[in-house]
Structure 1
Amino acid sequence: MLNALRIKLNQLYFKDTQFANLMTKRIFNVLLVANPYDAFMLEDDGRIDEKIFNEYMNLSLRYPPRFTQVSALEEAWEKLNETTFDLVICMPGSDNSDSFDIAHKIREKYPHMPLVVLTPFSHGIRERMEHEDLSIFQYVFCWLGNNDLLMSIIKLIEDKMNLERDIEEVGVQMILLVEDSIRFYSSVLPNLYKFVLQQSQLFATEALNAHQRTLRMRGRPKIVLARSYEEAWSLYQKYQNNVLGVISDARFPHQGEQDPLAGVQLLREIRKRDPFVPLILESSEEDNRKYVSELDAHFIDKNSKKMDVDLREAVSQNFGFGDFIFRDPKTMREVARVHNLKELQNVLFSIPAESFFYHISHNHISRWLYSRAIFPVAEFLKQITWESLQDIDAHRQIIFEAIVKYRKMKNQGVVAVFQRDRFDRYSNFARIGEGSLGGKGRGLAFIDHLLKRHSEFDEFENASVMIPKTVVLCTDVFDEFMDTNQLYQVALSDADDETILRAFLRAKLPDRLVEDFFTFFDAVKAPIAIRSSSLLEDSHYQPFAGIYSTYMIPYLDDKYEMLRMLSDAIKGVYASVYYKDSKAYMQATSNVIDQEKMAVILQEVVGTQYGDRYYPAISGVARSINYYPINDELAEEGIVSLALGLGKYIVDGGLTLRVCPYHPTQVLQTSEMEIALRETQTRFYALDLKNMGQNFSLDDGFNLLKLHVKDAEADGSLNFIASTYDPYDMVIRDGLYPGGRKLITFANILQHDVFPLARILQLVQKYGQGEMRRPVEIEFAVNFDAKTKTGTFYMLQIRPMVDVKADLEEDLTLIPDSRLLLKSENSLGHGIMEDIQDVIYVKTEGYSASNNQLIAYDIEKLNRRFLDEGKHYVLVGPGRWGSSDTWLGIPVKWPNISAARVIVEAGLANYRVDPSQGTHFFQNLTSFGVGYFTINAYIKDGIYNQQILDSMPAVEETKFIRWVRFEKPLAVKMDGRKKLGVVVLPD
């Protein structure tokens, strides 16, 4: 049974309650029809707006209404023409004022506007009202000089307007008050509302930040007033699944007649339908107390002097408000008390069985959750009755799992305010301070929000997608640190980096952070990365990535030692804002250094501990646009670089595995054995858990180890990630086998889908780019458990792909052929180059493939001269560049042509070779942004205007090649999305 429920819980997608969609109909403007004296009396001393405003603010309510007072019909029309009113309150005076007449006329013209009578109960008015037609009024209230009544009137009407929609939307609860005595409900409602609103202020603490807190109050229970048996029964039947409790008088109209036991009859019918709903019977006749045991209800004596207090206590104890109190069912003594969801989660397994059984068999936990507007869990637990499970421990477990699932969902996508008593292993993202989160911080908050909104990320059986636990020290902490330690003078000086770092390390962080850091250590229990998140970094328009430091520290049992390392790392990140390179970069990008402010991200490091080393199974960078698509790949399908170990290896330009997530089985680097042995990862980075940071240095990688792949093999971390080269059979086998070199191919994950990496990457690119409305670059890491074949994909960062070369708005097809030296409709690369004047090309007259080796020597000599001068050139020749088979092309190695920035395969009519797309040195093409053109002009596939080159004088010429120089630079333009590349002749 428990497994069936677990399946149900797993299938249940806890959709977050959209509190913003609740209470959408509001009363903003109230027209008060009263003679000036009565209006003044109502306002006490003319400050009705101020009083209502204060009342609203005290209860954390927004949008207090505005009151406009009129006493004559002409005035009323004038105001109604000027302003849209949501409510008319009519105050008939003791004189023969015409407020009823005005109300009738307003009703004729505005049939849907709510009208309410508010009257001081004197004998004269009561007589007069007996002869009035009150059917046009929604309610009649008795004014007893109580200012709270105005707020109750407004809230009662708002509740009525929003009731149906809010119940349908999220299952908001309803308190049904059945009472026909005007005096009585005019007195009860203000107290009831005040209590419910104060309670909702308390439960709003389940919210993670101030904005959420205000919104959560919209989920409070609605109060609905019924004044007859039929009205009450109709409301109960319609909303019976959402009734938090019923408060009923004993005597009120039933079938048009006053019935002294209508309330008892109503509660009897309700109890038949629902054995658990709390019922309160109130009566001024003590004799009615005898019915409460039969009804399992609570009795309130209306004649009691403390009737209001009694009612408030009864509602508090029975309707699930306030703290949840676990009681011993025999003595009703308190066993445990919980204030919030986290505390409930913590005590579930320690509550005595008989107490736990008592509460679940009476549906108390579900009701408490409902009253606190925790609808998804309440709804789920309400269905799990004692009869359905009949196992105390299973019941504890399922409630625990439901709360955990809800809290994880709740924490996701929200920038919570860091609270020590709340932040635990189910927390996700919190901020310390009120300033900005900085660029990376904003990016992470955006990712978290993105993952929450798209349920596809939850649909993998053996994978979850999330961000690591994160706390951001906002920029105001940085400001405080700089000011209190008076660091600006040294920071903005010309001191060297080491001096600046030492000055920052001597400074002191605010003391109040110590306890926060300890809480974070306890929640994470893993190494921590300390990343910069400056205001300018990863901003939408500025390429500020990687300018500042990122440190990592190991997790230690000695909290104070860990605190020392963390403090040093934070100060090191702060100091990096003012290093020489940062200042130079600021200048180059026309930013002012003192505008730069630094937030710091404290983030759990993704990885697994192997002895004294710590690293993830996979780290990677995904780009949503691929400017080097080969074979069946499309530019918009994106590209991913994968590596074993920490992501620093990728950032440092190490050999990574290049994969298109839509073609995970077609990996160029593993397509041929020779390429796989030469172009797969041989080293990786891991965090050194023994390094205690005593020699804290400018190099943020001082405690990282650069290891060989065979070290990972010894750690046992290569399952499903590596392939084995068998030197005897000269083959590469997917998987780990004894002996033979291990190659990082991720073959079992990419080829055999042991983990759904490709599918996750497709989603990440699709939604990342879709919501940022521009190509994005995403850093990620994966923890993979080879035993269970399960894993967690962590998104670490998202930023726009800002590539200066990539700003290409021009339509290259519009450039006339006469202006082109080269045009390829099958080119790789993207961007614009405007600093190349030289072309080296292979002569085609008398060309023979037998000379290809000699041609390679000639090119190598010229390339060396270009390297010495720091210049670049366009290289054109027949066949496959870099082919080891000299009959297929010129057998250059990358160092022989490394100064070329555009490489062209130009087929000849008598020498046709399938295009290679530069596969022989593909890694270098992509790393250096080199363009690779394939042109077969003889079959009208592209343009190669060789006559122009032949007609120019050569700077140098050999038997096989010519080098020519243009007076002005050529313009190389490549559109990687359309695979179109051109070299435009100078004007």
Structure 2
Amino acid sequence: SIRFYSSILPNLYNYILAQSKRFSTEALNRHAASLRMRGRPKVVLARNYEEAMALYERYSDNVLGVISDVRFPIHGVKDSEAGLKLMREIRKTDPYLPLILESSESENRAKAEAEGFRFVDKNSKKMSLDLHKMLEEHLGFGDFIFRDPKTKAEIMRIHSLKELQDNIFKIPDDSMLYHISRNHMSRWLSARAIFPVSMFLKTVTWERLKDITAHREIIFDAIVQYRHMKNIGVVAVFDRMKFDAYSHFARIGDGSLGGKGRGLAFLDNIIKTHPEFNSLEGATVQIPRTVVLCTDVFDQFMEQNNLYQIALSDASDDDILRHFLRAQLPDSLIADFFTFFEAVKSPIAIRSSSLLEDAHYQPFAGIYSTYMIPYLDDKYAMLEMLACAIKGVYASVYYRDSKAYMTATSNVIDQEKMAVILQEVVGKQFDGRYYPNISGVLRSLNYYPIGDERAEDGIASLALGLGKYIVDGGQTLRVSPYHPHQVLQTSELETALRETQTRFYALDTQHVGNDFKVDDGFNILNLKVKEAERDNSLNFIASTYDPYDQVIRDGLYEGGRKVISFAGVLQQGVFPLPELLQMSMRFGAEAMRRPVEIEFACNLNADRTGSLYLLQIRPIVDQKQMLDEDLAAIPDDRCLLRSHNSLGHGVTEDVTDVVYV
């Protein structure tokens, strides 16, 4: 009757809305939450048997359950058992779909329960509560409750997808079998709007697999893949309950992410929109796990500790740093930092990401500090170092050089705000030190093309160890990703010995304590390449100089000086670095609509697999001097001197005589 379903529908709807609010809290940010809310279950209403069957057939793949009265019309005639007939018909096609009968005639209870349908009595004072309970228990609303199949006692209660992922291997076999053979897992996920996993698990039935362990692994892998897919390219709001090893990029605070932070989020999105990155065998491309402390944390820190006075004064850098290190970060961050340590389990880089950094027209690069701290099992010691590093980055906004740079670029220092990026350091742990096999800077515009290279083929500078070595002007290997076989520096023996890397940087993992200095490289080791040979980290990236035969052989051999030539990666195709760099350059420049500079690091494994991590992207400011004259059009007989290859802007120090024509 209209009167009856007018009373029950609002009740049902309130319940569904409460459910969708509850599961939307699992989303990574507000945008994702409002999308999840749209995935809430819908209620469709049928007024007779034919309508009900038509609706069921139309939505049969997605029905969570059916609630039906007993007496309603079939072919226009009222039938006192219509509800039972409808349910028998549905039961033929789907043996496990939850079916609920409601009736005011108590004798229908026995009929319904005899055929395995649930029953709700309309005369009951607590009818709406009974219905809620049924929905929660059988339609996948509320928490997922694992039960003992014999006693129906509760074994475990799961509130969220991450909890299911964490506990899937702890549930007893018989309980697991009971739930998967009745399709409960898929229904619960569907009610929470996690449709890709739900649809996938619906097809993996117990009949097809008959193996509990395999089932657990399939469910676990499906959840991990789904979370990975949801995490990439999204700036999530940091939440201790959700951040773990499978999380990707999160923010603490509501302010701006700053220039580097935006660049990272941008890179993450480029990787997401171009699956080609991860299509090459043995190679993965991603950004390191990252948490950004937004600019509002900086504002709060500066105001609560009353630091503006010392910061804007003419005090020395050491003084400013000392004051900042004494200040206090908000206590609310402690638990978040612990969660982050637990998830990354590796050294952490603390990088500046200010509002003005990497801006399109005046990129500030290398002005502020970047600290690195080792990973320690003692969480509190690590916390102390992290806090010092964050304060050190904050202090670097007000150092002398920064102030001078601000004045030179006519920016106002009061407008500068600092976000801080906490990021796992790419690399591997060796004896007391930590560094990656390859770091590099890639530019999509090459000002000095040689031979048949073109300016737009780009250029990469590669080095062993931490990328700080490149920024500090160390000797790197320059190569165009489109011409990996042409490396000028290794083309001749003398050049190769003279112009390749002899030292590299690594993080000193033994250096623990809060003795932070203005120089952010205070705990970075400057080592000889020989040391890397001891660490066995030169596989595929070094060649050996044979002094007897006066040749350089690709690969590692006993004795002889090791030359960092990256031959295995560039010329022998051990790892598809040139192809990945080509893609990074192409997609990055396309997305930014201008030439870009990308920082990256790479870990290579002994089995020829590896991971490329993109660390930063910024626009290259390309200042083109306007030249109206077309010099090539001047005929030869009017020229005294003509060169088709000339040196661009650079420094040549061994010129002693100049002939002026």
TM-score range, shorter chain: over 0.9
Query: What is residue 605 of structure 1 aligned with on the other side?
Result: 425
Query: What is residue 616 of structure 2 aligned with on the other side?
Result: 797
Query: What is residue 377 of structure 1 aligned with on the other side?
Result: 197
- Note the 1:299-310 alignment, pairs <5 A: 299-310=119-130
Query: What is residue 53 of structure 2 aligned with on the other side?
Result: 233
Query: What is residue 577 of structure 1 aligned with on the other side?
Result: 397
Count residues with an aligned counterpart. Answer: 659
Distance in 2, Cα, partners of 1:638 & 1:220:
49
Provide closer, same or farther for how the CA distance between residues 687 and 821 of structure 1 changes in structure 2, counting only shifts above 3 A: farther
Q: Is this contact kept in 1: 2:381–2:513, CA < 8 A?
A: no
Query: What is residue 760 of structure 1 aligned with on the other side?
Result: 580
Match of 1:320 among 130, 140, 146: 140
- Note the 1:902-941 alignment, pairs <5 A: none
Distance in 1, Cα, partners of 2:349 & 2:628:
44
Offset from partner CA, 1:338-363 (integer Å, 9 cap, x none):
11011111111111111111111111
1:962 aligns with 2:659: yes
Q: CA deviation at 1:809?
A: 5.8
1:459 aligns with 2:279: yes
Q: CA deviation at 1:484?
A: 1.0
Q: CA deviation at 1:629?
A: 2.1
Distance in 1, Cα, partners of 2:179 & 2:134:
17
Provide closer, same or farther for how the CA distance between residues 252 and 812 of structure 1 changes in structure 2, counting only shifts above 3 A: farther
Distance in 2, Cα, partners of 1:736 & 1:416:
44
Q: CA deviation at 1:609?
A: 0.6
Distance in 2, Cα, partners of 1:428 & 1:799:
21
RMSD: 2.0
- Note the 1:510-521 alignment, pairs <5 A: 510-521=330-341
Offset from partner CA, 1:293-346 (integer Å, 9 cap, x none):
465321112222222221121112111111111000111100001110111111
Q: CA deviation at 1:617?
A: 0.7
Paired AA for residue 796 in structure 1:
L
Query: What is residue 135 of structure 1 aligned with on the other side?
Result: none
Query: What is residue 630 of structure 2 aligned with on the other side?
Result: 813
**Overall identity of the aligned pairs, in %:** 68
Query: What is residue 570 of structure 2 aligned with on the other side?
Result: 750
Structure 1 or 2: larger strand share?
Answer: 1
- Relative to the length of structure 2, the TM-score reads 0.96
Query: What is residue 697 of structure 1 aligned with on the other side?
Result: 517
Offset from partner CA, 1:746-774 (integer Å, 9 cap, x none):
11111122112112112211111111111
Paired AA for residue 576 in structure 2:
P
Paired AA for residue 802 in structure 1:
V
- Note the 1:541-552 alignment, pairs <5 A: 541-552=361-372
Q: CA deviation at 1:264?
A: 1.6
Q: CA deviation at 1:808?
A: 4.3
Partner of 1:509: helix, strand, or coil?
Answer: coil
Q: CA deviation at 1:368?
A: 0.8
Match of 2:116 among 270, 292, 296: 296
Q: CA deviation at 1:677?
A: 1.7
Query: What is residue 256 of structure 2 aligned with on the other side?
Result: 436
Deviates more, 1:667-676 or 1:222-231: 667-676
Offset from partner CA, 1:619-648 (integer Å, 9 cap, x none):
111111222222232222221111110001
Query: What is residue 276 of structure 1 aligned with on the other side?
Result: 96
**Structure 1 stretches of 4+ moved >6 Å:** 818-823
1:363 aligns with 2:198: no
Structure of larger gyration radius: 1
Q: Is this contact kept in 1: 2:384–2:514, CA < 8 A?
A: no
Q: CA deviation at 1:252?
A: 2.0
Partner of 2:659: helix, strand, or coil?
Answer: strand
1:425 aligns with 2:245: yes
Distance in 2, Cα, partners of 1:796 & 1:338:
36
- Relative to the length of structure 1, the TM-score reads 0.65
- Note the 1:172-187 alignment, pairs <5 A: 181-187=1-7
1:562 aligns with 2:382: yes
1:261 aligns with 2:81: yes
1:896 aligns with 2:650: no
Partner of 1:778: helix, strand, or coil?
Answer: strand
Q: Is this contact kept in 1: 2:554–2:568, CA < 8 A?
A: yes
Distance in 2, Cα, partners of 1:373 & 1:616:
40
Distance in 2, Cα, partners of 1:733 & 1:962:
43
Query: What is residue 496 of structure 2 aligned with on the other side?
Result: 676
Query: What is residue 661 of structure 1 aligned with on the other side?
Result: 481
Partner of 1:622: helix, strand, or coil?
Answer: strand
1:508 aligns with 2:205: no
Provide closer, same or farther for how the CA distance between residues 812 and 326 of structure 1 changes in structure 2, counting only shifts above 3 A: farther
Provide closer, same or farther for how the CA distance between residues 738 and 816 of structure 1 changes in structure 2, counting only shifts above 3 A: closer
1:396 aligns with 2:216: yes
Query: What is residue 623 of structure 1 aligned with on the other side?
Result: 443
Deviates more, 1:820-829 or 1:744-753: 820-829
- Note the 1:18-167 alignment, pairs <5 A: none
Q: Is this contact kept in 2: 1:627–1:828, CA < 8 A?
A: no
Offset from partner CA, 1:263-301 (integer Å, 9 cap, x none):
222221211111222111222222332343465321112
- Note the 1:329-348 alignment, pairs <5 A: 329-348=149-168
Paired AA for residue 609 in structure 2:
T
Higher relative contact order (CA 8 A, sep 6+): 2
Provide closer, same or farther for how the CA distance between residues 258 and 656 of structure 1 changes in structure 2, counting only shifts above 3 A: same
Q: Is this contact kept in 2: 1:538–1:545, CA < 8 A?
A: yes
Distance in 1, Cα, partners of 2:235 & 2:219:
26
Partner of 1:224: helix, strand, or coil?
Answer: coil
Partner of 2:630: helix, strand, or coil?
Answer: helix
Q: CA deviation at 1:810?
A: 5.1
Distance in 2, Cα, partners of 1:524 & 1:438:
22
Distance in 1, Cα, partners of 2:199 & 2:577:
34
Partner of 1:242: helix, strand, or coil?
Answer: coil
Distance in 2, Cα, partners of 1:676 & 1:404:
46
Paired AA for residue 792 in structure 1:
S
Q: CA deviation at 1:195?
A: 0.8
Provide closer, same or farther for how the CA distance between residues 619 and 295 of structure 1 changes in structure 2, counting only shifts above 3 A: farther
Q: Is this contact kept in 2: 1:629–1:828, CA < 8 A?
A: no
Q: Is this contact kept in 2: 1:530–1:603, CA < 8 A?
A: yes
- Note the 1:584-595 alignment, pairs <5 A: 584-595=404-415
Distance in 1, Cα, partners of 2:111 & 2:507:
72
Q: CA deviation at 1:457?
A: 2.1
Distance in 2, Cα, partners of 1:360 & 1:811:
74
Q: CA deviation at 1:793?
A: 0.9
Distance in 2, Cα, partners of 1:298 & 1:215:
33
Q: Is this contact kept in 2: 1:267–1:295, CA < 8 A?
A: no
Distance in 2, Cα, partners of 1:816 & 1:257:
95
Distance in 2, Cα, partners of 1:297 & 1:809:
82
Unmatched segments (≥5 aa) in structure 1: 1-180, 834-871, 873-893, 900-956, 965-987
Query: What is residue 529 of structure 1 aligned with on the other side?
Result: 349
1:486 aligns with 2:281: no
